[in-house]
């Protein structure tokens, strides 16, 4: 089995050929949930176009070349900007002559602290990272899907819309939920499904590209630990999920098996509804 940067072979459970003939765009694909999703779709014989801000995405894509019966492509893009989202769609369209599914995963809290301690510029950065990356991506992807005759958009939100010490992130993911439900109303007549999953805490290897500065000092470490404690306590299973446990429902929602689901946000957090 080919091995790239963090690509470890087939998931324990997957559905062969579920994405055969489908072209799938995956953002945030260099690591974490995005990598797990791209890996699963490749093993289900979809053509996968991987996008990330990190050059690492090309190494990950190379590790998937021999996995899928479809094609594999990759591009770097800064999805915090409209120009980055436009360039991503242009690259995917050039590589695969369009795409059928777009899975938008880029996002993630940068700081962990009570809201009164956030500086205004930090709030703006959190919203740019976890709302505008999806907003710009969807705006760029939608016309391409409409021109393609329809398709599916899967956004990755979070159950942290009800969580401590990350209000700007929570507000951003609330925006992703609203984007999903509102756009589903508009897009259904154009044969485009719009859905989302809302992950809870997820176990993952140490990030190769960090989202921001880690906790500094005892106070910041305590604030971060409060997030961990609340996340585990809110899960009925009292644990974090795995990457496979997050990738599986994302891939299901993206697949033809979910063809009668739109406008829904599926919590994937061990019973925590967010």
CA distances from 36 to 91, 167, 173, 221, 249 (A): 22, 27, 21, 28, 12
Closest alpha carbon to 216 in 121, 127, 111, 107 = 111
CA 105 to CA 272: how far, in whole Å? 20
SS3 per-residue string spanning 95-132: HHCCCCEEEECCCCCCCCCCHHHCCHHHHHHHHHHHHH
CA 61 to chain centroid: 17
Name the region of 3 (left: φ>0; alpha: ψ -120 to 50; beta: rest).
Answer: beta
Cβ within 8 Å of residue 144, ≥6 positions away: 89, 92, 93, 98, 99
Q: What are phi and psi of 136, to 5 degrees?
A: -65, -40
Catalytic residue list contains 118 = no
Instruction: Provide the terminal-to-terminal Cα distance of the chain, rounded to the nearest Å.
Output: 38
Question: 118, 169, 224, 240: which is the annotated catalytic residue?
Answer: 169
- Two structure tokens written together for 209: 């590209």
CA 237 to CA 30: how far, in whole Å? 29
Residue written as token pair 């974490």: 32
| Active-site residue list | 169
């Amino acid at each position: 089995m080919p091995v790239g940067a963090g690509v470890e072979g087939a998931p324990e459970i997957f559905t062969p050929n579920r994405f055969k003939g489908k072209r799938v765009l995956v953002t945030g694909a260099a690591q974490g949930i995005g990598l797990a999703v791209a890996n699963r779709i490749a093993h289900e014989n979809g053509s996968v176009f991987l996008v990330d801000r990190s050059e690492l995405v090309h190494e990950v894509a190379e590790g998937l070349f021999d996995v899928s019966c479809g094609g594999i492509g990759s591009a770097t893009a800064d999805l915090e900007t409209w120009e980055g989202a436009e360039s991503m769609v242009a690259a995917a369209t050039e590589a695969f002559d369009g795409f059928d599914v777009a899975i938008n995963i880029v996002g993630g809290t940068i700081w962990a602290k009570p809201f009164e301690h956030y500086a205004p510029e930090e709030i703006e950065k959190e919203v740019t990272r976890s709302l505008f990356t999806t907003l710009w991506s969807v705006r760029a992807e939608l016309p391409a899907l409409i021109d393609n005759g329809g398709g599916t958009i899967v956004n990755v939100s979070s159950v942290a819309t009800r969580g401590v010490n990350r209000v700007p992130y929570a507000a951003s993911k609330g925006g992703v939920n609203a984007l999903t439900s509102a756009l589903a109303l508009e897009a259904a007549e154009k044969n485009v499904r719009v859905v989302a999953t809302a992950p809870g805490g997820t176990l993952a290897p140490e990030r190769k590209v960090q989202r921001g500065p880690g906790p500094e000092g005892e106070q910041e470490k305590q604030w971060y630990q409060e997030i961990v404690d609340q996340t585990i306590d809110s899960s009925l299973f009292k644990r974090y999920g795995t990457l496979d446990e997050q990738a599986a429902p994302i891939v299901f929602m993206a697949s033809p098996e979910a063809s009668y689901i739109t406008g829904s946000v599926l919590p994937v957090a061990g019973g925590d509804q967010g």
